[in-house]
Each structure stands twice: as C-alpha cells, then as structure tokens.
Amino acid sequence: MADINRREKLKLEKLFDMGGGYVFDFSNRTFSDFIFETLDKDLYSDKYSDNGDSKANRLRTIWQKENNYSVGKLTLEMLEHWRDQKTMSYSDISQPEQNLYEECEKIANRLLEGKIIEEIEVIQGKEDDKDFSLLAKSIRESIEKNEPEAALDRLHTYVTKFIRQLCENHEIEIKKDESLNALFGKYVKFIVASEKIESQMTERILKYSIHVIEAFNDVRNNRSFAHDNPILNYSESVLIFNNVTNSIKFIESIEKTIEQEIKEEEKESVNWEDLPF
C-alpha cells in the first residue's frame, strides 16, 4: 500500500480530473495502455476492481495495493502527461494549477525516495529474447515488492547472460561453461586493450570488480534461492544489487561509445563518388 494520506489523495484527484469516475481525457483503452507501459500492470484485472470499475476507482485501488515506488513512478508519468496535454492544447497554466502541480510532484518524489535500487531501470529485456525479457521482468518485480534477497540468483543469471552476449558481440573467445567472473574479466580486458577507459582509477575499479563478481558466485550458490540455502540478509542484498546495477549502467555507457565510434567509421568509409547523385 502506498503511503498517501487523505489530503494528498485529494490533491492528486483534483489535478488528474478524477471527478465522475474519469481520469484526464483517457479512454478505457488508452488509460489501460498507459498503466501497462508505466507499471507493466493490467488495469482491468480483478486485482484493481475493489472500489468499482471506473478509471478513477481503479486508479484509487492502485494507490491502495501498489508500493510507494510504483505509485510514485506512475504519478510522475501522469504529471508529465498533464503537462504534455497543456502544451498540445496551447493552454496556459494558471498559478493555482502550477501550485497544485508542484504539490503533486512533491508527493511523487517523496514516494520515490524509498527506491531501494538506484539503477534498477538498467535491468531490461530484449525484444528478440523472450527468456531474457522474462528474467528481467521477474527481477524488477522482486525489487518493486522490496524483496531484493529473493532475486539474487536471477540477478546472477541476468548478469551472466548480459556479459556473455557482450563477449559474443565483440568476438571475444569464451567457453560455454565459463564462470561469470571469467567472462567479466575477459570483457574488462577487451575494453582496456581497446582504450575505452580514460583513467587509471576506472581501470583499477573494473579490475577489482572482477574479484567482487567472483564473490557473487558464492552468494548465488550458497546464499540465494538457487539452492536450498539460508538467504542473505536484506541490507547486503541491497548493497549487491546497487553495486551490480551501477556496473551494468557504466558498461552500457561504454557500449554506446563503441557503437557510436562504429557508426562514425562507417560514415567515413563511404565512397561518395560511388553514390548515384
């Protein structure tokens, strides 16, 4: 249940134009799509029918049943939608509206302050890999439920698949049964040798991370649901998640740089004399 008091709900309802069971100018379909795209939830499932079937009542039920992070995220998206609608309709925002908007924004940000994993958004699926997408979805769901310790084994699997794919993309020679730390070590060696790292400190952090990843193998095997284990405590699970997701975010920034360099090289290699104009 999201931590929203009665006065805060009234502010949100007023800005979101929830009188008469409506929400903004959403139709049933567009609001359902909006909820699914934001929270990956089915608005018209029985879960959200407790207060009635109108769009406004189903939104109220989401406030009642979902956690702070999910409701905060949804609220920010709805605030963005409100601003977009104002812009597209060329409507001026009055001072009272602006004041109410800012009050609602404070509510959303307060709810999001409890976000336990800062970079959880990097855990993403792939359109061409259903298994990988389901894996990512299940990890994010555990975090939304504030249960990081329950997802440590899946996080290990996710990172292994993620790093293995990067190695294959860069034609780094790997073996089928190599451990996560071995894969990560080869990837780090590749980006260092390719001069993608600018500072010695970053290089040292990455090389030390190989040992951290090696310790993750032990956590996965002996302190997660991968086997019949005593599960690692909550605080250390949060620390592991934040460390791993921050590493993934940095790696993705490196990959974007490599991708951009490849595009620039391809542009430079074009023989303009051969073009038909």
pLDDT digits (tens, 9 = 90+) for 83-114: 999 999 888 999 999 999 999 999 998 888 77
**DSSP code per residue over the chain:** -----HHHHHHHHHHTT-GGG--TT--HHHHHHHHHHHHS--TTSGGG-TT-SSHHHHHHHHHHHS-HHHHHHHHHHHHHHHHHHHHHTTPPPPHHHHHHHHHHHHHHHHHHTT-S-TTGGG---BTTBHHHHHHHHHHHHHHHTT-GGGGHHHHHHHHHHHHHHHHHHTT----TT--HHHHHHHHHHHHHHTT----HHHHHHHHHHHHHHHHHHHHHHHSSTTSS-PPPPHHHHHHHHHHHHHHHHHHHHHHHHHHHHHHHHHHHT--GGGS--
Distance CA 275, CA 268 (A): 14
> Across the chain, which distance is largest between two alpha carbons, in Å?
70
Q: Cβ(125)–Cβ(133) under 8 Å?
A: yes
Q: What is the mean pLDDT of each run of 10 residues along the chain (277 residues)?
A: 91 95 96 95 95 96 92 95 92 93 93 82 90 94 86 97 96 94 96 95 94 94 95 92 95 94 80 57
Residue 272: the pLDDT is 53
Q: Cβ(90)–Cβ(26) under 8 Å?
A: no
64 closest CA partner among 54, 43, 50: 50
What is the residue type of 101? Y
Residue 67: the pLDDT is 86
Domain boundaries, the chain: 6-112, 120-268
Q: Is pTM beyond 0.95 here? A: no
